[in-house]
Amino acid sequence: MRCGTARRRISDDLDGALAARRRARLDAHLRTCPACRTYREALGRMQAGVLKPAAPPAEFWAGFERRLQAKLDGAGEGRRPAIGSLVILRRWAWAAGAAVLLAGGVLWYALFRPVMPVTGTWAAYDDVLDPIVRAAEANPELAARIDGEIRASIEEMVPARDEEGALLPAADPLFWEGLSDDELEAVVRGLENETGRGGPK
Partner 1 sequence: MDEHPDAPLVEEARHGSREAFTALVRRHERRIYSLALRMAGNAADADDLAQEVFLTAWRAIGSFRSGSSFYTWLYRIAVNASLTFLKKRGREKGRAPFDENLAVSVAGRGPASGPERDSAARELSARIDEAVAALPAHFRASFALVVDQGLSHAEAARVLGCSENTVSWRMHKARKLLRARVKPYLEEVRP
Chain residues binding partner 1 by CB under 8 A are 7-8, 11-12, 14-17, 39, 42-43, 45-56, 61, 64-65, 67-69, 71-72, 75, 78-83, 162, 168, 170-171, 173, 176-177, 179, 184, 187-189, 191-192, 195-196, 198-200
Q: Which C-beta is closer to partner 1: that of 149 or that of 183?
A: 183
Q: Which C-beta is closer to partner 1: that of 68 or that of 124?
A: 68
Closest approach of Cβ 184 to partner 1, in Å? Answer: 6
| Cα–Cα distance measured from residue 168 to residue 142, given in angstroms and rounded to the nearest whole number | 34
Closest approach of Cβ 50 to partner 1, in Å? Answer: 6
- Cβ atoms 63, 70 nearer than 8 A: no
Q: Which C-beta is closer to partner 1: that of 83 or that of 138?
A: 83
| Cα–Cα distance measured from residue 101 to residue 185, given in angstroms and rounded to the nearest whole number | 55
| Cα–Cα distance measured from residue 95 to residue 118, given in angstroms and rounded to the nearest whole number | 36
Q: Which C-beta is closer to partner 1: that of 78 or that of 140?
A: 78
| Cα–Cα distance measured from residue 33 to residue 94, given in angstroms and rounded to the nearest whole number | 63
Closest approach of Cβ 146 to partner 1, in Å? Answer: 30
CA atoms within 13 Å, Cβ hemisphere of 56: 6
Q: How far is CA 88 from CA 57, 98, 154, in A?
A: 44, 15, 44
Q: Which C-beta is closer to partner 1: that of 58 or that of 118?
A: 58
| Cα–Cα distance measured from residue 140 to residue 1, given in angstroms and rounded to the nearest whole number | 69
Closest approach of Cβ 136 to partner 1, in Å? Answer: 35
Closest approach of Cβ 28 to partner 1, in Å? Answer: 20
Q: Which C-beta is closer to partner 1: that of 15 or that of 141?
A: 15
Q: How far is CA 114 from CA 118, 120, 127, 152, 162, in A?
A: 12, 13, 22, 37, 51
Closest approach of Cβ 26 to partner 1, in Å? Answer: 13
